[in-house]
Amino acid sequence: MLQDKVAVIYGAGGSIGGAVARAFAREGAKVFLTGRRRASVDAVAEEIVSAGGSAEAAEVDALDEQAVDEHLDSVIDSAGRVDISFNAVGIPNAKILGVPLIELDVEHFSLPIASYATSYFLTARLAARRMVANKSGVIMTVTALHSRMGLQLVGGYGPAMAAKEALTRDLSAELAPQGIRVVGLRPQGMPETRTIKEAFEPRAKASGMTWEQWQEVLASRTHPRRLMTLEEMTNMAVFLASDRASGVTGTIVNLTMGSLDD
Ligand SMILES: NC(=O)c1ccc[n+]([C@@H]2O[C@H](COP(=O)([O-])OP(=O)(O)OC[C@H]3O[C@@H](n4cnc5c(N)ncnc54)[C@H](OP(=O)(O)O)[C@@H]3O)[C@@H](O)[C@H]2O)c1
């Protein structure tokens, strides 16, 4: 579905970024993987290449405008264009989650809002500047149900996700007339990812539940009474990145399986 498409993935050493990179490569895309720390990105790239795919890895801080810009120049030099930009960056959770709002300091409240929105803005804007020349491209990101649901102890994470979803719509409004689609994915927490386990296992324990019981509680809120897998999420990412989704832009696909009504 993505034969010969050129995709740049930010946060490609993470659970979602890595899974999306593998799925895009399996569908024929040339993937350019970036992350803050080189080792985890290299590992994903090596796996893709060993499976017969095309992948290159680079250390790029997705909050550093110059680094993102220079990397995109190198992608254009090597592959001639950029078709897909996927921002899967995840800001580490330390002191962002788990603190009641009345006790949270301004710095930790603002950190996720500024970091997520700025990184997405930068990577989207710099990719769009290249995509405009071809009048084609897809800009993508991932958010969470916190964007639309009141939840406890999530600090500035909900406002950060809401900001990314608003930016998705605004980018699309400006870029779609130039052939560039902008779409997001909003999955339910996927327990097979390290992030979700790290964020929720201690909270499960604190409320007297095992990790398995906690997952059952989350699953009970979905219509099929189970949580989404990474593979199901990446299947949707592949479709949205492909030309088959040419009619989809300016929206965030709700992958919460009924936990959150549209
Ligand atoms: N996991 C889920 O089930 C789930 C569900 C819904 C939404 N989400 C959202 O999806 C996003 C990714 O989640 P994830 O589970 O894949 O997280 P993850 O495994 O922690 O991956 C995040 C990646 O982003 C990288 N990163 C952080 N800051 C960066 C920067 N400035 N520049 C470049 N790379 C940077 C990290 O690299 P380092 O390790 O080198 O810092 C890491 O590889 C997050 O926004 C998360 O909130 C996740």
Local confidence pLDDT in tens for the 262 residues of the chain: 999 999 999 999 999 999 999 999 999 999 999 999 999 999 999 999 999 999 999 999 999 999 999 999 999 999 999 999 999 999 886 678 889 999 999 999 999 999 999 999 999 999 999 999 999 999 999 999 999 999 998 999 999 999 999 999 999 999 999 999 999 999 999 999 998 888 788 878 888 999 899 999 999 999 999 999 999 999 999 999 999 999 999 999 999 999 999 8
Name 138's bridge partners.
84, 181
Question: What confidence score (pLDDT) does residue 92 get?
Answer: 80
- Give the Å distances, CA to CA, from 135 to 83, 97, 146, 173, 183: 10, 40, 33, 15, 16
Cα(119) to centroid of ligand 1, in Å? Answer: 12
Question: What confidence score (pLDDT) does residue 229 get?
Answer: 96
- pTM score, whole prediction: 0.97
Question: What confidence score (pLDDT) does residue 70 get?
Answer: 98
- Residues in the ligand 1 pocket, defined by CB under 6 Å: 10-11, 13-17, 35-37, 40, 61-63, 88-91, 119, 142, 144, 187, 189-190, 193-196
Q: Are strands 54-59 and 84-87 parallel, antiparallel or unpaired?
A: unpaired
Question: What confidence score (pLDDT) does residue 232 get?
Answer: 98
Q: Which residue lies with its CA nearest to atom 43 of ligand 1? A: 14
Spell out the residues 6+ positions from residue 67 whose beta carbon is closer than 8 angstroms to its own: 60, 61
Cα(177) to centroid of ligand 1, in Å? Answer: 30
Q: Which residue lies with its CA nearest to atom 41 of ligand 1? A: 36
Calpha distance 201→171 (Å, rounded): 36
φ and ψ at 224, to 5 degrees? -80, 5
Q: Which long-range contacts (CB under 8 A, 24 or more apart) does 37-42 make?
A: 37/13, 39/13, 40/13, 40/14, 41/12, 41/13
Ligand 1 atom closest to residue 13's alpha carbon, by position in its atom list: 43
Question: What confidence score (pLDDT) does residue 203 get?
Answer: 79
Ligand 1 pocket: which of 32, 121, 142 to mutate (most atoms <8 Å of CB)? Answer: 142
